Structure 1
Amino acid sequence: MTSETAAQGDPVLRLSGITKRFGALVANDGISFDLARGEVIALLGENGAGKTTLMNILFGHYSADAGSVEVFGQTLPPGQPGAALKAGVGMVHQHFTLADNMSVMDNILLGTEPLWRLGLGRRAARARVAALSRDFGLEVDPDETIAALSVGERQRVEILKALYRDAKILILDEPTAVLTPQETNALFLTLRKAVALGLSVIFISHKLHEVMAISSRVLVLRHGRLAGSVVAAETDRQKLAELMVGAEITPPAPSKATPGAPLLVLDRVATEPQGQRPGLHDVSLSLRAGQITGLAGVSGNGQGALADLLSGLALPTEGSLEIVGERVTGWSPRAAIAAGIGRIPEDRHRTGTIADFTLTENAILETYAQAPASRRGWMDWRAARERAEDIIAQYDVRCPGPQTRIRLLSGGNMQKLILGRVLQGNPRVIIANQPVRGLDIGAVTYVQNQLIKARDAGAAVLLISEDLDEILTLSDVIHVISEGRLSRGFPRGTMKPADLGQWMAGQGFDHAA
C-alpha cells in the first residue's frame, strides 16, 4: 500500500495482478492498486490503454485472465455485476446502458426492485430522484423516454442511476464528457461532500484540469500497464500528458485564417422541434472556405438540429440552404455526401457506427457504392480493407485488425475511425460535432491539428463543441446557440469564456433584442 493511501485508512478496494487478453491484444497486464475510504483516484491513459477494460473487470462485466478484486476485504467472484453492486460498487459507464423505450424514472429504478414492484413506492422514489437531480445539477424530466433525450441528458441519467443505488465505491468513466462547466462544477462540489462522508471514487477522464481538480492520486496506464502513480498536488497537466503518451505534447496553435468564398449558406432557416429539444429559429449562417466556425452552447439547445439539417437528415420548414451559390432542393444524406459534406456525428454509437460491423465495413459506410470500394456494381473488399488499414495506421486506431467488430473497441478508437473515414474523403465542408469527445490528450491534439490542416487546405469547418477552451482555441469565428437561436459571429479573440457563458444562458440574445 502506498503511503498516501495508508494515510487515509484501510483500503476499501484492492486490485491485484489484473491481466486481461482479447486474442493477441493484452488489454491489462498485471495491474495492481488500492483505493482508500474517502479517496478519489484518477485513472488516465491514451485511448486503448486499458482503462475501461480494467473497470469492467472490477464491476464484473469481464472476467480477468489472472488476478483478483477485493472489496472491503472480500474477493469478488469474477464476471458477476450483481455481486459488485451488492458489495457497494457503482459504475457510470462511458457507453450508455439505458433502455431507449423506457422513461428516465424506470431506467433509474430498473434493477433496484423486482419488475412487478416497480410501481410501488414510486412517490418516494420520485422525490429522491428529484433531490439528487437538484443537488448534483443533473436536471432531467423523469417522465421523458430515453429515446427523446439528447446525449447530454442521457449521461445525466447514467449518473443519477448510479447515485440512486447508494454506492460506497463509485466508478465514473468519462462522467463529464457531455456536461457544461457549470454542471461539472456542481457535480464536483457534491462529490467532495460525499467523499468527506466516506465515498471512494475512481475517476476516469481525458480532461486533465478535472483530474487535477478532483483527485488525490493519479494512476497512468500506457499500453495496458501501470506506467506511474503520482500525487495530484505534486504534478501538473503537462507532466501528466507526457506520462500518458511517453512524449512531449505540443498543443495546436492555428495561424490566422484567410477565409475564401462561402461554401454553405443558411438564410433565415427554421426546423421542427426534436421531441423536447428545440428546432432552429430564424438561423442565418455562412460557412466559408478556409475558416473554422465554432458553435458554442449548452447541450440540447439546437446543435443537433443544425447538424442534422446540414447533414441531410432534416429539412427546413422555412428559409433556404445554398451550397456553392446554388439553392438546394431534394435534400437528403445522399445529396449531402454528394455535395462534399463530411459528417462527424455527435453519437458515435447510434449514428456514427454499426456495432456488429467490422472496422472495414464501418470505414466504407458512406462510400460503399463508390470507387474504390465498388467496381462495376460489385464490392471490392480488398480495396475496402486497404482503406480501413490506412485509417487504422494514420489515426492510430488500436485494434486487433480491420476485421474486428467495432463494438469491441474503446469509444476513443471508434471516434478515430470515424474521423479517418471523414477526413480521408477530403470533404469541402466538415460538420465536426463533438469531434474529440472521449479522446486522450495526444489524440485530441492530433485531431485538432487535422481540422486546422483541412481548413488550411480550403475546407469550411463547423466545429460544434461544449468545450469552450476548444472553441476559443480553434475557431476563427464563434457563434453561440441557445434555444434554437443563433448569435452573430464573434471573431477570434473578441470574447472571453464569461462573455460566451452569458450568451449560452440566453442573456446576450435578450440584450441584443
Structure 2
Amino acid sequence: MLLQMDSITKTYGNVTANSDVSFNLHKGEIHAIIGENGAGKTTLMRILYGMETPTSGSIRLNGKPVSFHSPTDAINNGIGMVHQHFMLFSSFTVAENIVIGREPSSPIGFDRKAAASVTDQLAKQYGMPVDPWAKVGDCSLGVQQRVEILKVLHQGAEIIILDEPTGVLTPLEVKELLAAIKSLAAQGKSFILISHKLQEIIEVADRITVLRDGKVTGTVQAADTDEEQLSKLMVGRDLVKLTREKKQSGKPVLEVNSLSIRGDRTKPLLSDVSLQVNEGEIVGIAGISGNGQSELLQAISGLLKPDKGSVRLLGQDVTGAPVGDIRRGGLAHIPEDRYQWGVSKEADVLENGLMGHTARHHKLGLLRGSSIRGMVAEWVERFGIKTGSLNTKAQFLSGGNLQKLIVARELAQDTPFLIAAEPTRGVDVGAMEIIHKELLQRRSAKGAILLVSSELTEVLKLSDRILVMFEGKIVGELMAETATEERISLLMAGGKHVG
C-alpha cells in the first residue's frame, strides 16, 4: 500500500469536519473522493498536504508513519497538490512557473534556457505538451492546468492531489486532461481526485470513496457503479429527475441590439450581438470561455459600457446605466466568478446575504436584525448551506457552499430578469438539483433567465433556446428540442450550423 490514512478526525471547536475517516491509495491508482459541499473532502486533503494537523488519526507512506506540518514536508515526501484555483504567476513564463523553487542556475544567475530545457523534457516524458517560453497569462486554462501538473511532477511528486481539476475547462480540454491522468497513472504516478462531476469520475477513476457529513459512506470500484448509486451515497436519498415543461413564452423582458465592445485586442470583444429573453423563458448561452460571454453579461448588468448598441430591460433603455439603477430596474445576477463579483470574503454569511436586500430590511433608517437573520437562516436551511454560524466569514466556507449562498441571495431578489452565470459551478449533485429546481420554478412564474454555463448538459437540461458564442459573436441558435452536444460543440469550435 502506497498511502494509508487511518481514522482521521479533524474538529474546529464544536464543528467536526472529518470523523474517523480511513482512506488508502495504491501505486499507479486513480482514487476519487466525492461528496456534498462541506462533506470534508478538502479538509482531508489539506491534512494530507500538511496544511492542517489532524485532531487524531495517523498517516503511513510506504508503510512508514509520517507527519506533515507544512506543504513543504508533503512535497519533500513526494506528495503534490493542484488546487482548484491555480497557483501560477501570470507574468512568468511556463518554464519559470514549473521550476520555481527549484530553479536551475548559471554563474550569472537564473538559467532560463536550462529551465526551458527541463520543461521540454518533462512535457515529452509525460505527454503533456506546453510552450516553455509562453507567458502563463496568455495560456488557455487547459494549458495552465498542464503547467500546474508539470510543476508538481518537477517537484518529484509520486502522489498528485487534483482538486476539481475540470471545473473551468472546455469539453475538449477535459478529454485531454483525463487522458493525461490515465497516461501518468500507467507510468506509475498515483492520483487522488476530488470532483463533483460523476460522469468524469466514473470514466477516469479506479476506485471512488464517498464522504457525507465528514464520514465515509462507501468505497466502490468505478467499474461496478453508476451515477445513481454514487448520488445516493453522497446525499442519502434518491434524486428527483426534473423535467422542463414546454410552454409559451410571454413578452420581451431583455432586448440586446447590435451590442459591440472593441476592447484593446485586434478583434472586438463583442461584435454586433443581438438577443432577446422573454417572460417564462430560459435562454442558454454556450461557448468556450473567453469568447465574449463575460463581456456580454457585464454590458447587460452595467459593469462594462458598450461602444455600440443598446440594452433594454422591461422596455427601458439601460445601456451604460449604473449597476445599482439596473438592479433596481429588475435585474438579479448570479456572477460567473463568485470570489471576484459575488462576495466579500472578509464579511460574514449574514452580511453577504444582506447585499442587495437592505432596502426591504430597514425601519426608520435602522436595519432590522431579526428580519435579516430569519431571511438568511431560511436560505441556509433550504439550500443546505453548511456553515458554523451566520457569523462565519465567507472565506471559511467551501466554494460550493459559498455558491449556494450567492444563488439563494440572488433568487430571493425575485426580479423579472435573472442572469445565471455558472450557477452550479463547484456544487454537489444534491445542491445542483435544488438550484435547477429553483430556476425552473422561476421560469414557471414568468421569470426571464439568461443562463451561461460551461456545462453543456446543464444548458441542454434547462434552456428553451440555446445561443452559441464564438469570437465575440452569436454564431448559432438552436431550439432545445433539436439541440445536441455534438451540434453545440461544433458551433463552439467555430464550425457552421447545419439544419
**Mean alpha-carbon deviation: is it higher for 335-344 or for 124-133?**
124-133
Residue 391 of structure 1 aligns with which residue? Answer: 379
Aligned to 2:14: 24
In structure 2, what is the equivalent of residue 432 of structure 1?
420
Residues 167 and 330 of structure 1, relative CA distance in 2, 3 Å threshold: same
Question: In the alignment, does 2:134 pair up with 1:142?
Answer: yes
Deviation at 1:216, TM superposition (A): 0.9
CA RMSD of aligned residues (A): 2.8
Which residue of structure 1 lines up, in the alignment, with residue 354 of structure 2?
A: 364
Question: Equivalent pairs: percent with the same residue?
Answer: 37
The structural deviation recorded for 1:121 is 2.8
Using the TM superposition, give the Cα deviation of residue 477 of structure 1 relative to its aligned residue in structure 2, in angstroms. 0.2
Counterpart position of 1:423: 411
1:188 counterpart (151, 175, 178): 178
Does the 8 A contact of 1:20 with 1:64 survive in 2?
yes
Aligned length: 497
C-alpha distance in 1 between matches for 2:251 and 2:203: 44
Which whole-Å CA distance do the structure 2 matches of 1:486 and 1:118 have between them? Answer: 52
Counterpart in the other structure of 1:5: none
In 1, Cα distance between equivalents of 2:470 and 2:223: 37
8 Å Cα contact 1:277-1:301 kept in structure 2: no
**Pairing partner for 1:349 from 314, 333, 339:** 339
Deviation per residue, 1:30-88 (Å, 9 max, x gap): 11121000011111111111001101110011111111222233433233110101111
Correspondence for 2:477 among 483, 489, 492: 489
* TM-score (normalizing by structure 1): 0.90
Cα pair 1:20 1:28 within 8 Å, conserved:
yes
Q: 1:139 & 1:28 partners in 2: Cα distance?
A: 41
Q: 1:345–1:432: 8 Å Cα contact kept in structure 2?
A: yes
Question: Is the contact between residue 137 and residue 187 of structure 1 (CA under 8 Å) also seen in structure 2?
Answer: no
Give the counterpart of 2:244 among 225, 230, 254.
Answer: 254
CA 156–309 in structure 1, closer or farther in 2 if over 3 Å, else same: farther
User: Judging changes above 3 Å, is the alpha-carbon distance between structure 1 residues 109 and 361 closer, same or farther for their aligned structure 2 residues?
Assistant: farther
Instruction: Tell me the amino acid that sits aligned with residue 16 of structure 1.
Output: D
Deviation at 1:332, TM superposition (A): 2.3
Rounded Cα–Cα distance in structure 1 between residues aligned with 2:366 and 2:140: 38
After superposition, the Cα gap between the structure-2 partners of 1:488 and 1:326, relative to the gap in structure 1 and judged at 3 Å, is: farther
Q: Distance in 1 between matches of 2:246 and 2:18?
A: 43
33, 39, 46: which one pairs with 1:49? 39
Gaps of 5+ in 2: none
Aligned-partner residue type, residue 143 of structure 1? K
Question: Would you say 1:269 and 2:259 are equivalent positions?
Answer: yes
Structure-1 residue corresponding to 2:220: 230
Per the TM alignment, residue 113 of structure 1 is displaced from its structure 2 partner at its CA by 3.9
Matches within 5 A, 1:76-475: 76-98=66-88, 106-113=96-103, 120-126=110-116, 129=119, 132=123, 135-136=127-128, 142-145=134-137, 158-273=148-263, 279-368=269-358, 370-372=359-361, 374-475=362-463
Secondary structure of the residue that 1:281 maps to in structure 2? strand
Gaps of 5+ in 1: 1-10
User: 1:487 is matched by which residue type in structure 2?
Assistant: V
> CA-to-partner distance for each residue in 1:290-313, whole Å, 9 max, x for gaps?
111111111111111112112211
Deviation digits for residues 14-35 of structure 1 (CA, Å, limit 9, x no counterpart):
1011111122111100111210
Classify the secondary structure of the residue corresponding to 1:507: coil
Give the TM-score taking structure 2 as reference length.
Answer: 0.92
Residues 485 and 156 (structure 1 numbering): CA distance in 2 closer, same or farther, change over 3 Å? Answer: farther
Matches within 5 A, 1:54-69: 54-69=44-59
- TM-fit CA distance, 1:386: 2.5
Q: Which residue of 2 aligns with 1:7?
A: none
Q: 2-side partners of 1:105 and 1:277: how far apart? A: 28
Q: 1:479 and 2:471 equivalent?
A: no
Which residue number in structure 1 is paired with residue 24 of structure 2?
A: 34
